[in-house]
Every structure is written in C-alpha cells, then in structure tokens.
Chains A and B, each alone.
Chain A
Amino acid sequence: MEVVEGSYAVAHAVKCCRPHVISAYPITPQTHIVENLAQFVADGELECEFVPVDSEHSAMSVALGASAVGARAYSASTSQGLALMWEVLYNVSGMRLPVVMTAVNRALSAPLSIWNDQQDTVGARDSGWIQIYVEDIQEAHDALIQAYRIAESREVMLPAMICMDGFILTHTYEPVVLAEQEETDDFLPPYDPEYYLTVERPLSFGCFAEPDKFMEFRYMQHEAMERARFKIKEVADEFERAFGRYYGDLIQGYNLDGAQIVLVTFGSIIGTMKEIVKHEKDVGILKIRSYRPFPVKEVREALKDARVVAVVEKDFSAGFEGALFSDVKAALYNHVSDLKLLGFVLGLGGRDIPPEDISKIIERSRVVMDQGLKEEWEFIGLRGEIL
C-alpha cells in the first residue's frame, strides 16, 4: 500500500490496462490524471499513442477513431470539457465502441466554478454510457480496471465512464493498493473486437438510419445496458477474487439491516455519511454505484423495509428536483408503499458538506417519520444573506 494522489492512482490503473491510445485536453481538476499518463509515456513506462488534442470534442473523437480501428482507448475530462464532448458521447455509444473515460465531477458554468458537484455527469446520464460513481480513491483506481472488462465484453460493447469527485478524490492523498501489471493482465484480456476498421474486411461504420430502422438501434443499446447489469456484478465478483477488494455490484448497502431511515446517494459524500451513520442505529446508507444501468430491482429490495428515504445529491434539474431523487422515486413507484421519500440538494459548486448537513438531513427524516411529509425536497446549506 502506498500513499498517492487520487489522480496518480487513476493514471496508474489506466497504465496497467495497457491502452493503445490516450487522448485528452487539459481541464481542472482532470489535469493531474493526464499529466501522470503523459509522464509514464515520457519515461517509457507506458507504450501508447498519447494524443494531446485541440479540444475535448477532439479528445473523444480521437478515442472514437482509435476504438473503431480496434484499439483500446482512454480519455478523461470534466465539467465544460464533458459538455463540449457531449455530442461525441452519444456517437461513441451509438456506434457501440467500448471507450473508457474518467469523468471527474465538477460544476458547470455559469457562474464559473472549478469545484466539485455532479451536474456534469448527471447531465450525460442519457448518453448511452455506463456510469459508475466511486466513493474513494481506491475504488476510482479499481473501477477503471473493471470498466474495460465490462465495456469490452462482447455482450455489452458500450462505453463506460468512471465518475469521481473533483479535488475531493483527484487531489487528495490516501493509502492505495496500486495494481500490479501482471495481476491486471490476468484479469483484463487484450481488447478483441468482433468488428473493426480493416482493409482485410472493409466495413462501413456510422451509416445513417431512416425512421424505419433507427429505433431498433436505440433498443439494442438498451438491451446491452440490461446485459451490462449482470456483467457489472460478475466483474465485481471476479475482481474481488483476483484483487480481494469489493465495492458492491450496482449498489452497496451500509447499515441497512433494521434501518428505518436510508440515505441514498453516490460519490465521495458517502465517506462523510458513514462517519455520522455509525453513531445512529436506525440509519443506513444505500450507495448507487451504477447510475446507468440504474439498479431498479436492487433499489426496491434495499429500501423495502425503510420508512423514510432521503436522496442526497450534488446536482439538480432547475424547475424540478435532483435527478437521482426522481430516478429513485420512479424505481419505487408501484412497488413499495408506506415509504416517504425526501430529496436534498447540497454541495453545489464545491460548497463544503460538513457532518452537520448530514445530521440535519437525518433530523428532517425523523421529523417526517413522526409527523408525516411536508416539504418533499430542499436545498441544504443555502446562505440566505446572498440570496
């Protein structure tokens, strides 16, 4: 075990996956990941084509081209960069190219903010990418290795993004077990695509579909996402056998046994939550690890005995509510009764989330448990004097 920066741990995991092509454009707080990768290449520790491009749009386009020719491709971005490559995200998933990227979570401008929230990747929720949110640096490192196994499996063939909170995970140091090259090679076979661009067998990629054919392509993407559910579980189990670490499959529960109140969330906030929850005997945490595919059945099962569920997230849809809150409610509707759901938005643009905020959410949940539902969702930590 070594104490390393989160970005270094991710870069190390990428290196162990032996990507053929890495393409990226610098943007805070993703920079340390790609700087480390560039250094690996400069030092001869990683043999690959490192393509420093003119924009994030080009970064994902280069990854697309590389993947189409049969190469293993990696990119990393965040916030504005992810927004700029939005068009290409849909294109990569529609063409069923298993590109893997680290999506560092950061707020979207305006106002400009380089700090963490999850609006960026939640905005890319419907882009057809597998989205896995990680809790700590070790998981960011491990999930990356898992991601290639999931994405490149013949029954899935979908791109995957590993979402990690900017600064909180990218720029902090933690003790991490860095993967060995040999054990990674044993776990992750070389990319062996069924279809790729080659003169040996000239195929056309990216044809357009008339209205009488388009929907079927979308449906097949959905089917692949459904198969990805099982693949994510299978790969998590195999990873545990190979590396001895496990983070749950699509979800992970904490203190759920007998919990009357369950906090549902994703990302690094779970660390803070665990500190609070361990002192509360009837409060549990449900970590959403895979946001797409969404763990519909797992969420139902995990929450069936709870009385109040508080969905906590660092994103929201102006004019409605947090996206995770909507999704959790949708998964439960028709299936779980006598359950009250509350949504909380906090930590936007890097606003600190002190333990008291979590305690406040638990308090609100207790009030609802005793007195019934009044406000369904709210912002936590708003500063009235600025409004």
Chain B
Amino acid sequence: MGVYRFEGGDTVKNLFVSGHRACAGCGMAIAVKLILEAAGEDVIVVSPTGCLEIVSSPYPETSWRVPWIHSLFENAASVASGIEAGLKALGRKHEAKVLAIAGDGATADIGMGPLSGMFERGHDITYICYDNEAYMNTGVQRSSMTPPGASATTSPAGKVSFGEIHPKKDLASIAVAHGVGYVATASVGYGLDLMRKVRRAIDHDGPSFIHLHTSCCTGWRHPSSKTIEISRLAVLTGLWPLYEVVDGEITDVKRLPKRLPVEDYLKTQGRFSHLFRMEGGEEIIRRIQAIADANAERFGLDLEG
C-alpha cells in the first residue's frame, strides 16, 4: 500500500491502488484516488457498472483498499441506501460513511429514479457523479450528459449532423430541487478543490451530491498527457462552472479573472474537431459560447464585467 506525504505534512494512504486497468491519463482514475484521499478509510464505497467498476475489480484482483461493492448499472443509489439503512439498524452508523461513485450514464440516465429516491428519503450518503460525458465503457455512446456539438458513436457527426444536439442535464439543480443540503460541482483539473468538496460532502449530514467533470482521453480524443489541462480549460471557458450550493444557496463560485473563448477548449479534443472542419460549424461553436456566457451570467463567473 502506498503511503505518501500530503499538503501540511500529513501522510496519506493510497486507497485506490495502482494496477487498475484504466487508460493512461484517465481523469476518472485520478479523481477517484483524490476522492478516497479526502474521504479516508472509514467509508464504504458503491460503484455501479461502468468504467470505474470494470477497471478496478477483475476477480480475484481489486484496487480498493476500502470496503467496496458493485451490484448493477442503475442501482448504486439504492444499494447505498440499503447499506446506510443496514449500518443504522445494526448500530454501526459510526463505523463508516457511505459513498457512491458513479458515471454519468448510471446517474443521469438509467439510475435517475433510484438517485431521486435516495435524495428524497434523506439517506446519509455522498453521491459523486463522475461525468465524462458519454458511455465510455461501452464505446463512447452518447448519454444525456454528452454536450452539444460533441460527436459520440450514437450521436456521430456526419454529412448532415454536427453530433449531439441536446443540452446536458443540469444535475446539480436536480439535486438542489430535491432539497439536498450540500451540492457542488468539481473538476479533476482542480484536485484540491475536489478534495475539499468531498470532505465537506461527507461531513454533511444527510444526502450530498457532487457533479464531477472528468476528462476521458479515449472518448474525448486527446493525448493522455492533457487530461488535467483540458479539464481546466472546461472551467476556464465557463463551460464547467465550479460552485457549491449549501441549503439551496450558491455559496462559493470559482471566479475567472479572464474567461477564455470556448474554442480554446473545443479545439483540444477530437470529439469537437468536425466543428472546425464542417461548413456551419462556427454556428455550433457560437451556440456553445452562448452556453458558457449564460453560465457566466448565472453564476457571476467573470471577475470583471
């Protein structure tokens, strides 16, 4: 088990250990390592079917140094609910916090009902959706979280298509609408911010939700060395605003001294490359810029108007 020094001089155990089968440069794998560093050893983790589960648990091997369970694709929130209820009933609530780490398809599509139920019933669970914006495990099919203008294998760019056309679901707002007390967005590009939010979410009593942007170099088509840089560009262009919502109030927004144009983000990835080649692509880019502008307006991203 790896042990290394963390900011402030504390030693931190690596709880998501090397040897997993994630692609080089996988944003999710980096994020999960940071999440567990922040969470510590006293957690029980639930992962639905997806990249995370597949890369970390080929029997008889495991990357998990904390108790971990995978059941099915759509039921992470329900399994987590059962674990939390079981701990309560057994008088072991103090033993561990329950943490679900699930992809965007498992969360926003097939697992939406169970997640809503988990929120509504008020279970003390931290649910983190790592959003890499498509069904990466099955081969980059579009999900409801695939952003407009991206080419995915079931929303491909073609002679008469610019790829995905629908906007992403606003998962954080869905959580807030359930009355979830702690909601945050995060990015693998901002590790310390992510870790701080994970700690807050876990310390929060009742359900909490983190919508975490994690680049997928395979699906987004960028070099594996660019994961952090590209994840940061999503934030710096205003396409992925970082904020917290505590008890329904936006409390913390990462403001941008100088917001970058969305092209700076889009041009780094193969999934958007058609926008720069196809006639009419500039109109799609203009619409994507409008999304960033609306985010800037809504969250007050720009330090100087």
Contact = CB atoms under 8 A, between A and B. Distances in A.
A54 B87 contact: no
B23 to A, nearest CB: 17
Nearest to B83: A65
Interface string A40-67: 0000000111011111011001111111
A209 interface: yes
A200 to B, nearest CB: 8
Contacts of A70: 86, 90
B299 interface: no
B64 A51 contact: no
B1 to A, nearest CB: 11
Contacts of A49: 85-86, 88-89
Given A20-B90, A66-B85, A208 B53 contact: yes
A294 B303 CA distance: 72
Interface in B196-251: none
Contacts of B66: 199, 202
A21 B86 contact: yes
A204 interface: yes
Interface in A184-215: 197-210, 213
A383 to B, nearest CB: 40
A209 B121 CA distance: 34
A87 B78 CA distance: 14
Q: Which of B42, B67, B84, B85 has the most CB of A within 10 A?
A: B85
Contacts of A48: 89
Contact of B86 (A52, A58, A71, A204): A71
Nearest to B95: A199
Contacts of B58: 207-208, 210
A204 B75 contact: no
A72 B31 CA distance: 34
A36 interface: no
Contact of A58 (B42, B75, B84, B95): B75
B179 interface: no
B302 interface: no
A48 B91 CA distance: 11
A95 B62 CA distance: 16
Contacts of A200: 95
A204 B20 CA distance: 14
B44 interface: yes
A54 B90 contact: no
A91 B72 contact: yes
A95 B120 CA distance: 28
A198 B83 CA distance: 10
A206 B79 CA distance: 12
B82 A63 contact: yes
A330 interface: no
Contacts of A68: 69, 79, 82-83, 86
Contacts of A57: 74-75, 78, 114
A23 interface: yes
Interface string B25-61: 0000000000000000111101000000110011111
A48 B82 CA distance: 12
B262 interface: no
B72 A87 contact: yes
Interface residues of B, number: 47
B121 A51 contact: yes
Contacts of B64: 202, 204
Contacts of A208: 53-54, 57-59, 70
A147 B197 CA distance: 45
A54 B79 contact: no
A286 interface: no
Given A202-B68, A208-B57, A61 B113 contact: no
B154 interface: no
Contact of A51 (B46, B85, B90, B113): B85
Contacts of A202: 41, 64-68
Contacts of A198: 67, 92, 95-96
A143 B17 CA distance: 46
Contact of B85 (A21, A87, A207): A21
A210 B59 CA distance: 8
B86 A73 contact: yes
A302 to B, nearest CB: 40
A242 interface: no
A353 interface: no
Contacts of A201: 67
B143 interface: no
Contacts of A61: 71-72, 75, 78-79, 81-82, 114
A55 B117 CA distance: 9
B116 interface: yes
Contact of B71 (A51, A204, A206): A206
Contact of A199 (B41, B57, B85): B41
A205 B69 contact: yes
B80 interface: yes
A65 B86 contact: yes
A69 interface: yes
Contacts of B82: 21, 23, 51, 61-69, 71, 73
A206 B57 CA distance: 8
A203 B69 CA distance: 8
Contacts of A210: 58-59
A63 B81 CA distance: 9
A367 to B, nearest CB: 51
A166 B121 CA distance: 29
A188 to B, nearest CB: 17
A218 to B, nearest CB: 13
A197 B85 contact: no
A168 interface: no
Contacts of B54: 208
B44 A71 contact: no
Contacts of B84: 65
A356 to B, nearest CB: 47
Contacts of B72: 61, 87-88, 91
Given A57-B75, A68-B82, A208-B53, 11 more contacts: A54-B78, A54-B113, A64-B79, A68-B69, A68-B79, A69-B82, A69-B92, A198-B67, A202-B41, A205-B68, A207-B58
5 contacts: A88-B72, A91-B71, A199-B66, A207-B57, A209-B59
